[in-house]
Amino acid sequence: MEIGILTELYETKTHERVILIGVGMDTQRSLQELEQLCSTAQLEVVGVFNQKIEPDNRSYCGKGKAEELRLAVIEFGADAVIADDELSPKQVESLEDALDTKVIDRTAVILDIFAARAKSSEGKIQVELAQQKYLYSRLTGSRTGLSRLGGGIGTRGPGEKKLETDRRHIRNRISELEDELESIRRHRQLQRRSRTNSGFKTVALMGYTNAGKSSLLTALTGSLTYSENILFATLDTLTRVMENDKGLNVLIADTVGFIDKLPHKLIDAFRSTLEESIEADLLLHVVDVSAEDYDVQMDVADKVLEELNANQKKIYVFNKIDNVDPLPLYRKDPCCYISAKNGDGIEELKEMILETLSQGIQRLTFVIPYDKSGVVNRLFADGNILSTEYNDVGTVITAEIQADKVYLYQEFIAE
Ligand SMILES: Nc1nc2c(ncn2[C@@H]2O[C@H](COP(=O)(O)OP(=O)(O)OP(=O)(O)O)[C@@H](O)[C@H]2O)c(=O)[nH]1
Ligand SMILES: [Mg+2]
């Protein structure tokens, strides 16, 4: 079904032929990933080039390399050159002049994929916001940087029909979108508060794209999710209940994955989606241990989490153990080894989740005199209420409550 959305968006366009260029001391891994991103974006990669120098602030690559690229564009009939780093307007301008073709960057490809995959209205607003910001930044150069963009890659998706070269128009649209997102964010906050108040604990699945987060959501909750062997299969947050016999109300939230050099505009735009996870009680950092570079992926995802100030309890979940033998050594703790595909380790992971969530929770019975209805209300907000009865002294409430809040109700604890 998702593929349908892609083809619908892309079928009117012939597959663009692109040449990739990475500049830096170690470009191999990132360029391979860019190739994967291009294939997800339905682009045909006809050449890959790299240069082992620090990227130049003005021209990105060196003169000789630029000439090599210019000739390759002609030889392979390429429609565009894609740089593996986010380019400044100056760099775009200088490269386009030197190569005489459209130049875009890794950020544009990621935005394009997001644009084609966004389904919910929130997702679409977030992507459009990131796209408009991207277009805006390309317009801050000395000339109208969009002149060569024309159509195709770099201009597709929700933002496409609104592609405007008028900076003021883009600025207005950006503030409109920001307002819409702010009201969605407030709505989400209210939802979260009411969930917390009704005693729900939230566990967020985070990690590199394609690590198996959506598959794990299925394994933990039994609900069907969309998972596929492509980058950024999931863009929206999906939350499901994890049944358990400990009497805990547990929600698991799946969300968008991370990638190396994730555009900042995108992180900002997706903040309201990500907040859902950032404010969870527990994070599961899902890692695909069968990926050759899983250690790098793990560090990249940890760094994004750090940037998002997500510093709650975390369990590293090493996934896809069915696909690797022997298990690789690099690990971080606390961790657990699983296969979301065949179910290995899932029960152990569930135990770990429940144990972590119930740490610091005490089950107590309180007797609250009838003239202290305010205390009852507060306890309903603070605790997970298991039963309520009435005797001749007051309301008898059995509740689970965080240890650090018990002192507030000390005088009411039943003998
Ligand atoms: N062999 C194996 N494959 C798995 C396992 N878990 C997930 N996969 C596969 O890995 C691919 C990605 O899985 P998803 O669950 O979509 O991964 P994700 O982390 O949600 O990815 P995005 O939403 O794109 O960020 C799919 O093809 C899954 O079938 C596993 O335990 N073993
Ligand atoms: Mg997913």
In this structure, which ligand is nearest to the CA of 286?
1
pLDDT per residue as tens digits for the range 188-197: 888 888 877 7
Q: Give residue 163's pLDDT.
A: 46
Q: Which residues surround ligand 2, an ion (CB under 5 A)?
A: 213-214, 233-234
User: What does the alpha-carbon distance between residue 331 and residue 353 come to, in Å, rounded to a whole number?
Assistant: 19
* Closest ligand to the CA of 207: 1
For the stretch 65-124, pLDDT in tens is 999 999 999 999 999 999 999 999 899 999 999 999 999 999 999 998 888 888 888 888
Q: Please work out whether the CB of residue 123 comes within 6 Å of at least one atom of ligand 1.
A: no
State the pLDDT at residue 12. Answer: 41
CB 210 near ligand 1, within 6 Å: yes
Is the shortest distance between the CB of 349 and ligand 1 below 6 Å? Answer: no
Report pLDDT for 385: 87
Average pLDDT score over residue span 148-175: 65
Banded model confidence at residue 149, pLDDT cuts 50, 70, 90: low
Whether 214 is in the pocket of ligand 1, judged by its Cβ within 6 Å, is yes
Asked if 219 and 340 touch (Cβ cutoff 8 Å), the reply is yes
Tell how far the Cα of 213 is from the centroid of ligand 1, in angstroms.
7
d(CA 174, CA 124): 13
At residue 271, does pLDDT exceed 80?
no
The DSSP element (H or E) to which 19 belongs, if any, is strand 17-23
And the tokens for 347? 């029960």
In a mutational test of the pocket of ligand 1, which residue from 227, 237, 318 has the highest number of ligand atoms less than 8 Å from its CB? 227
pLDDT in tens, 355-405: 999 887 888 999 999 999 899 999 988 888 889 999 999 999 999 888 878
**How confident is the model at residue 137, as a pLDDT?**
80
- At 150, the pLDDT band (50, 70, 90 cuts) reads low
Q: For residue 140, what pLDDT is reported?
A: 59
> What mean pLDDT do residues 34-54 have?
95
pLDDT at 4 over 50: no
CB 324 within 8 A of CB 288: no
Distances (CA, A) of 266 to 40, 76, 269: 18, 32, 5
pLDDT tens digits, 289-320: 999 999 999 999 999 888 888 888 999 999 99
Tokens 């021209």 locate to 59
User: pLDDT at residue 346 above 90?
Assistant: yes
pLDDT of residue 154: 65
Give me the mean pLDDT over the 137-145 stretch. Answer: 57
Nearest residue (by CA) to ligand 1, atom 25, is 209
Rounded to whole angstroms, the maximal C-alpha distance in the chain is 91
Q: What is the pLDDT of residue 225?
A: 73
| β-sheet with 394-402: strand ranges across | 361-369, 394-402, 384-390
Taking the centre of ligand 2 as the mean of its atom positions, its distance from the CA of residue 111, in whole angstroms, is: 17
Q: Which residues of 354-367 are buried (b: 16+ CB within 10 A; e: fewer)?
A: bebbeeeeeebebb
The ligand placed nearest to the CA atom of residue 324 is 1
Instruction: Respond yes or no on whether the N-terminal peptide bond of residue 334 is cis (omega within 30° of 0).
Output: yes
Percent of the chain with pLDDT over 70: 90
- pLDDT recorded at residue 296: 93
- Compute the mean pLDDT over every residue in the chain, rounded to the nearest whole number: 86
Protein residue closest via CA to atom 7 of ligand 1:
212
Distance 119 CA to ligand 1 centre (A): 20
Question: For 210, which DSSP code?
Answer: T
Percent of the chain with pLDDT over 90: 53
Sorted by where each starts, the structural domains of the chain and their CATH numbers stand as: 2-118 (3.40.50.11060), 199-358 (3.40.50.300), 361-412 (3.30.70)
Distances (CA, A) of 38 to 89, 114, 182: 22, 12, 32
What is 299-360 written as a DSSP string? Answer: HHHHHHHHHTT--SEEEEEEE-GGG-SSPPS---SSEEE--TTT-TTHHHHHHHHHHHHHTT
